């Protein structure tokens, strides 16, 4: 089936409602070793399943294994027969303990890691640069003008920071396309802290990461608490995995199962569909995948429509669970 595309912000980038987050391709490299090493043939299968299902964009970052995720993504896209222009690639500059000048000094490294695929969306990973929001925005604008990147996004920016970046870029004639933030049925803080409303007002797309709370919204850990023992590394400390949190979210999981049954889907697929449907076209979603079957599940989430009753039901059940 043909998946309707939606525009990212005020750019010319047209993307599927669901992309693929590629943090899992970091191959256990980098400072926190959050994900285990994946066999290269499994990474190839994940990307192939995503492409076969119609997904046309991929999100990675410098911080994901110090460029390893970027290199893996380029490798497997080439192996799948994709060429520059066939897909949309987003990556991020890590600002921690860096100044704005580092953006221009390190962009060639990002380009090299992703070669031959261009950087369609370059994002500031967090607002934690030593330099001001204004200076980092200006450094990003310079990359657009030099044609080293196609468009600009931010990540983990609050409302005020996002507005400042938008204002500076607008004065340079460059739109702020997106803000990549944590958003799911179990984490809806952006609906209350001004980020979502401001993004809608300014024409900035929300890129929702951790949309399944790294497996919690699949219902897997509710059905089999022993599965928590297999959770890798630092993921184990996440609050949503704790017993009390799992008990509190059980009603939501049961509601997801009921909606899923009506659509011949899974709870995970319904959770993803709700996220990109509830606010019209304001939100797109980037679930990850560490297995081909998970990538296939992500694709399936775009093959059915949730009606108003389903959307409202899940909204009401999840609202009391917000941000806890």
| Residues acting as catalytic residues | 64
Q: Alpha-carbon distance 41 to 43, whole Å? A: 5
CB proximity list for 99: less than 8 A, separation 6 or greater:
129, 130, 131, 135
Which two tokens mark 216? 């919690």
Which two tokens mark 95? 């600002």
Q: Give the three-class secondary structure for 123.
A: strand
Which residue has 């066939």 as its token pair?
86
Q: Tally Cβ neighbours within 10 Å of residue 120.
A: 24
Would you say 68 and 30 are in contact if contact means Cβ atoms under 8 Å apart? yes
Q: How far separated are the first and last CA of the chain, in Å rounded?
A: 38
CB proximity list for 216: less than 8 A, separation 6 or greater:
186, 240, 241, 246, 249
Q: Which residues pair with 79 in a beta bridge?
A: none
Q: Tally Cβ neighbours within 10 Å of residue 220.
A: 16
Specify the pairing of strand 176-182 against strand 205-209: parallel
């Amino acid at each position: 089936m043909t998946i309707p595309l939606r525009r990212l912000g005020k750019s010319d980038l047209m993307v599927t409602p669901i992309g693929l987050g590629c943090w899992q391709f970091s191959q256990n490299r980098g400072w926190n070793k959050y994900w285990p090493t994946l066999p290269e043939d499994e990474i190839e299968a994940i990307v192939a399943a995503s492409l076969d299902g119609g997904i046309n964009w991929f999100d990675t970052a410098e911080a994901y294994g110090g460029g390893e995720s970027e290199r893996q993504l380029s490798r497997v896209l080439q192996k799948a027969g994709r060429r520059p222009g066939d897909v949309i690639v987003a990556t991020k500059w890590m600002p921690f303990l860096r100044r704005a000048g580092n953006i221009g000094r390190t962009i060639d490294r990002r380009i090299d890691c992703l070669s031959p695929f261009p950087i369609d969306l370059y994002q500031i990973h967090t607002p934690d640069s030593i330099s001001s929001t204004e200076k980092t925005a200006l450094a990003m604008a310079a990359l657009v003008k030099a044609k080293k990147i196609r468009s600009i996004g931010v990540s983990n920016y609050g409302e005020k920071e996002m507005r400042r970046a938008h204002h500076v870029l607008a004065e340079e004639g460059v739109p702020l396309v997106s803000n990549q933030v944590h958003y799911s049925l179990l984490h809806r803080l952006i609906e209350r802290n001004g980020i979502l409303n401001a993004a809608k007002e300014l024409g900035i797309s929300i890129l929702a990461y951790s949309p399944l709370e790294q497996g919690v919204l699949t219902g897997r850990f509710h059905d089999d608490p022993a599965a928590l023992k297999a959770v890798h590394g630092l993921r184990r400390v996440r609050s949503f995995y704790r017993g009390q949190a799992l008990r509190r979210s059980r009603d939501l999981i049961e509601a997801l199962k009921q909606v899923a049954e009506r659509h011949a889907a899974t709870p995970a697929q319904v959770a993803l569909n709700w996220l990109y449907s509830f606010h019209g076209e304001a939100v797109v979603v980037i679930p990850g995948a560490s297995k081909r079957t998970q990538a296939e599940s992500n694709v399936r989430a775009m093959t059915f429509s949730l009606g108003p009753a389903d959307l409202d039901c899940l909204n009401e059940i999840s609202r009391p669970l917000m941000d806890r």
